Amino acid sequence: MSSTSSEPKVKGVETIEKFSKPIIGFVTTALPFVIEWVQKGYDIWVKIPSDVARLIVGIIFCFFGGVYPTLFAAIQAVKAGGFNVLQEAIIDLTEEAQKIMEASKKDDDVD
């Protein structure tokens, strides 16, 4: 009886591995590029004049159409909830992810 109950568990684990491995592979491949693009975008964002920044935000709001109220509410919630704390947390997570990826590459090179 124990062998039949463990078979579905093994199949479940195999199914999870089957779907999670490609996802994890994609995330670990894409994450460095996403981090780089976001850093470049932030560097550009900081340098542009505030009028241009408002124009860009306005155009984004304009083209989001039906989700405009949701987008606006989310932005206001982030501002009210502590944007600086969120920004610091994202920076910390980015640095940790970069350290993990570098350590993983070093480990892969050893193997």
pLDDT tens digits for range 53-66: 888 888 877 777 66
DSSP codes, 25-90: HHHHHHHHHHHHHHHHHHHHHHHS-HHHHHHHHHHHHHHTGGGHHHHHHHHHHHHHHHHHHHHHHH
Confidence grade of residue 4 (pLDDT, cut at 50, 70, 90) = low
Tell me the per-residue pLDDT of 25-44, one tens digit each, with 9 for 90 and over. 888 888 888 888 988 988 88
